Amino acid sequence: MQRNSCLAVLVVMIVMCCGAGMFNDPHTGVALAALIKLRENGTISKTDRTVVVSTAHGLKFTQSKVAYHSKQIEGFSGHYANPPTPVKENFGSVMDAIRGKFPGMKKYT
């Protein structure tokens, strides 16, 4: 059970960072989860300046992110899921998909 709860914390940490505009790899997710735990237990105080170094990028691990956001990982509710939107491989289709998500977006020609 301990392994599953650690995995759950890791996946949620990585996905929460996506919501903040970060595209992290699993290793950085571990470091950020540790940072949060250390902050919560008082090892790192509110006034401490802390740096988490990320040496990899989420593009190396895209399949795990797609699986989470598509709700394909057994045992995960996908609470932070942002499902992918399939589009044809051309600029117009991509722009149409974006406008579908943001209806008030100005159309440029």
Q: Residue 1 — very low, low, confident or very high, per pLDDT cuts 50/70/90? A: very low
- The pLDDT tens digits for 12-29 are 666 677 767 777 777 887
- The pLDDT tens digits for 55-83 are 777 788 888 778 878 888 887 777 778 88
* Nearby residues of 41 by Cβ (< 8 Å), 6 or more positions away: none
**pTM (2 d.p.):** 0.56
Buried b (16+ CB within 10 A) or exposed e, 3-21: eeeeeebbbbbbbbbbeee
* Nearby residues of 34 by Cβ (< 8 Å), 6 or more positions away: none
